[in-house]
């Protein structure tokens, strides 16, 4: 049966053919709207719609599968020239050289952190403040590059600790993806960056980027005294890990 009834006017609604009145043998009241099965406007068959829907699902799946590799490739291209060998500008936020490192107000592995002594090496600590390991490609690459050079820092007796404003679950995604083994802690309510004098003042509370620091590295001696700082004003430029290590060793008097 085609479902077509003679003498009943048809109307098109939402791409489907509807008729008024109840077909014989039904309980629909006279004047009610009902859909004639399998009859669609524009001559589009159910089979064609099903095929198109399946094709869209395949395209969506491929897009999701390819998104991460394409994003990584774009980030690699964007950051390929980000590293410099020295801090050559006059930008100098953060605690004064010779002052005591004031500590942190942070979280790490579910607990509150006030001091970074547990992360220190026998010869001192490098404290890396970065904007985000969730959305900042320069920060992601810097943190990953530092991990690749960690053995050299270990050999120099230097501990490494990095800090961002990212939620712990976002940090964990990056940690697992990049195999980060040194501590990556979360600043709480921007208090650490405020105390250190490195909170980026271009953003106000309520902005998505509020709470990020001016990215840089602070070199801390075993007695807690700040012995060096590396802050490059352009957020898209960072001192590379091995040049930073050479600077830290010199600042701490570890070089002959």
* Residue 50, token pair as written in the block: 């099903």
Question: What's the angle, vertex CA 151, arms to CA 145 and CA 154, rounded to 5?
Answer: 115
Global pTM?
A: 0.74
* Gap between the Cα atoms of 67 and 57, Å rounded: 15
133 with 140: CB under 8 angstroms? yes
Positive or negative CA dihedral for 130, 135, 138, 143?
positive
Average pLDDT, consecutive stretches of 10 residues, N- to C-terminus, the chain (256 residues): 44 48 50 49 63 75 63 88 96 98 97 96 98 98 98 98 98 98 98 98 95 98 98 98 98 90
Q: What is the model's pLDDT at position 31? A: 53
Positive or negative CA dihedral for 183, 186, 188, 194?
positive
* Gap between the Cα atoms of 133 and 212, Å rounded: 11
Q: What is the model's pLDDT at position 108? A: 97
* Gap between the Cα atoms of 49 and 163, Å rounded: 51
Residue 5's contacts (CB-CB under 8 Å, 6 or more residues apart) are: 19, 21, 23
Q: What is the model's pLDDT at position 67? A: 63
Structurally, at CATH architecture level, domain 83-251 sits in 3-Layer(aba) Sandwich (3.40)
Ordered by start, the domain boundaries in the chain are 10-43, 83-251
Q: What is the model's pLDDT at position 49? A: 77
Characterize the bridge pairing of strands 216-220 and 226-230. Answer: antiparallel
| CA neighbor of 113 nearest in space, from 12, 184, 209 | 184
The predicted-structure confidence for 221-240, as pLDDT tens digits, reads as follows 999 999 999 999 999 999 99
Q: What is the model's pLDDT at position 25? A: 47
């Amino acid at each position: 049966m085609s479902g077509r009834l003679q003498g009943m006017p048809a109307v098109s609604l939402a791409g489907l053919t509807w008729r008024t009145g109840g077909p014989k043998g039904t309980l629909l009241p006279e004047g009610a709207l009902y859909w004639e099965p399998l009859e669609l406007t524009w001559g589009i068959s159910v089979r064609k719609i099903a095929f198109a829907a399946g094709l869209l699902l395949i395209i969506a799946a491929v897009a999701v599968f390819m998104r991460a590799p394409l994003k990584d490739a774009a980030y690699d291209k964007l950051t390929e020239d980000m590293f410099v060998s020295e801090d050559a500008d006059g930008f100098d936020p953060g605690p004064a050289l010779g002052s005591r490192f004031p500590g942190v107000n942070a979280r790490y592995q579910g607990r509150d952190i006030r001091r970074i002594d547990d992360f220190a090496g026998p010869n001192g600590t490098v404290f890396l403040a970065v904007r985000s390991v969730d959305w900042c490609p320069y920060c992601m690459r810097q943190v990953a590059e530092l991990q690749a050079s960690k053995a050299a820092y270990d050999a120099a007796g230097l501990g490494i600790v990095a800090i961002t404003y990212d939620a712990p679950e976002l940090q964990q995604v990056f940690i697992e993806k990049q195999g980060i083994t040194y501590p990556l802690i979360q600043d709480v309510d921007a208090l650490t960056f405020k105390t250190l004098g490195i909170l980026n003042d271009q953003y106000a509370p309520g902005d998505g980027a509020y709470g990020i620091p001016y990215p840089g590295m602070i070199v801390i001696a075993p007695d807690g005294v700040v012995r060096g700082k590396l802050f490059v004003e352009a957020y898209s430029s960072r001192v590379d890990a091995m040049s930073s290590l050479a600077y830290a060793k010199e600042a701490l008097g570890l070089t002959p």
